[in-house]
Amino acid sequence: MTISDEPVTLNNRAARLLPQLQTWRRHLHQFPEVSFQEHQTAAYIASELRQMPNLEVSQPTATSVLAVRKGTQPGRTVLLRADIDALPILEENSFEYVSQNAGAMHACGHDGHTAILLGTAKLLSEQAETAGELRMIFQHAEEQSPGGAEELVFQTDLMDGVDVVTGLHLNSQLPSGVVAVKPGAFMAAPDNIYITILGRGGHAAHPEEAIDPIAIGAQVVGNLQHVVSRGTSALEALVVSVTYFQAGSTTNVIPERAELKGTVRTFSPELRERAPELIERVVRGICDAHGAKYEFRYELGYRPLINDDGVAEVLRQVALETVGEDRAVVAQPTMGGEDFSAYLQKAPGAYFNVGSGTRELESDYPHHHPRFTIDEEALVTGVQMMAAAAQRLAQPD
């Protein structure tokens, strides 16, 4: 590290960390591990954290890592969260640190989130004075329901005494370095539906003797859109998408059954509670009308992610000070889901986005795309935001 005349602000310290952030992120990118299998990833994170001063490092579960910085002054307990898992995707990038684990890829940017939280841990651990208690959780298995957050929040003592939570997701659809925050509903609950229509098979030339599950299933698909357009208020966000329809095997046989699967996305907990009955009523009505039976299963995914207004306001202030008015924007709500919502069951908090998309670097592919990558400059913005937010949120009331 060279000695420079620049003032030693958090922003400057984070900017100087870029080569280290790249090293961490590229190592993680090269050796991705999918949800609940992040053993090498967790070992790497723990060994990097153990080289930093003033941190207590532990593993609350087999593949998650916790670093705690106990403050030198009174204050609040702040939880900072990064997710660390990769996806079962065959990477199509060609840079030198491309995935070495064929069939696994950091295609959502969690390698970047991990590097950002390592960088944040480094800055905060080297700080002589800190307020409150800073807990940095490197969470496993965000990408696979029921999610790693559920386990950490409800089966470990991670959240005991936590006053406030924050975390971020890189966003390839926002320009690199932009910080997006919004109060209130931010991300949807991603639930799943499974429908089996039980008809009666027969000869395709004599449909009157059969109960055709395909014709009935087609009506179910069409009528489910009425749940959205006629069954709920236009002011309540709801998406119902049937994404799977499987039936039959040849041209002259009406099959016995049709299998349908799909996703239901909501923000409002009240609407989410009503959704299973609204949907089943349509399935039941159509099947009854045509003499078919059915099986229906509604699978709850992650909870909707509702940001606390007060914490979101603090993050907005931090964003204004960190990246300036031009790059601090109001986030758009998204119908995507995120298990960060589990932490918010135990403490108020807010989740935000840091843009990582740069056309010239081709880092604007959508998340989960086999050519997804990030503009690594965004890692610096991520550290600046996380470290500043942690310090601000840890101040005593």
The nearer residue to Zn ion, 108 or 394, going by C-beta atoms, is 108
Least distance between Zn ion and beta carbon 288 (Å): 39
- Give 108 or 342: the residue with its C-beta nearer to Zn ion: 108
81: left (phi over 0), alpha (psi -120 to 50) or beta: beta
Is position 110 annotated in a ligand binding site? yes
What the block records as the tokens of 192 is 């799943």
Residue 369 assigned ligand-binding role: no
Cβ 170 to Zn ion, closest distance in Å?
8
Any known ligand binding at 27? no
Window 283 to 302, contacts with Zn ion (CB under 5 A): none
- Scan residues 165-184 and list those touching Zn ion (CB under 5 A): none
- Contact 286/216 with Cβ under 8 angstroms? yes
CA pair distance 58, 137, nearest whole angstrom: 10
Q: Is 376 among the residues known to form the active site?
A: no
Positions of E strands within the chain: 56-58, 65-70, 73-83, 131-139, 164-175, 179-181, 184-187, 189-198, 202-203, 238-247, 253-254, 257-266, 293-299, 305-307, 328-330, 349-357
> Residues 71-110: x/- map of binding to Zn ion (CB under 5 A)?
-------------------------------------x--
Distances (CA, A) of 265 to 40, 203, 375, 396: 34, 39, 30, 37
Q: CA–CA separation, 131 vs 286, rounded Å?
A: 61
| Set 142, 163, 191, 212: catalytic member | 142
Nearer to Zn ion (CB atom), residue 10 or residue 108: 108
- Give yes or no for a contact between 147 and 83, defined as CB atoms under 8 angstroms apart: no
Helix axes 110-126, 39-50, angle to 10 degrees: 20
How many residues lie near Zn ion (CB under 5 A)? 1
Would you call 47 exposed, middle or buried from its count of C-beta atoms within 10 A (0-12, 13-18, 19+)? exposed
Q: Is 55 or 374 the residue whose CB approaches Zn ion more closely? A: 374
Nearer to Zn ion, 213 or 337 (CB): 337
Residue nearest to Zn ion (CB): 108
- Taking every pair of Cα atoms in the chain, the longest distance, rounded to a whole number of angstroms, is 88
Element (H, E) at 333: none
Q: How far is the CB of 104 from Zn ion (least distance, A)?
A: 13
Site for Zn ion, residues 103 to 162, rule: CB under 5 A: 108
Smallest separation, CB 110 to Zn ion (Å):
6
Peptide bond into 146 cis (omega under 30): yes
Please confirm, yes or no, whether 85 is among the known catalytic residues: yes
Which CB, 139 or 381, lies closer to Zn ion? 139
Shortest Å, Cβ 336 to Zn ion: 8
Task: Report, in angstroms and rounded to the nearest whole number, the Rg of the chain calculated over CA atoms.
Answer: 24
Q: Which of 48, 85, 338, 377 is catalytic?
A: 85
Buried-state track 186-201, b at ≥16 Cβ within 10 A, e below 16: bbbbbbebebbbebbb
DSSP 8-class letter at 158: T
- CA dihedral of residues 337, 342, 348, 352 (deg, nearest 10): -30
Q: How far is the CB of 169 from Zn ion (least distance, A)?
A: 6
Query: What does the alpha-carbon distance between residue 216 and residue 290 come to, in Å, rounded to a whole number?
Result: 7
287 labelled binding-site residue: no
β partners of residue 41: none
For residue 255, give Cα distances in angstroms to 129, 214, 290, 352. 71, 8, 15, 48
CB of 32 to Zn ion, least distance (A): 12
Identity of the residue, 11 or 63, whose beta carbon is nearer to Zn ion in the bound complex:
63
Active site residues: 85, 142
**Chain positions contacting Zn ion, by CB under 5 A:** 108
- Extract the annotated binding site for Mn(2+): 108, 110, 143, 169, 368
- Extract the annotated binding site: 108, 110, 143, 169, 368
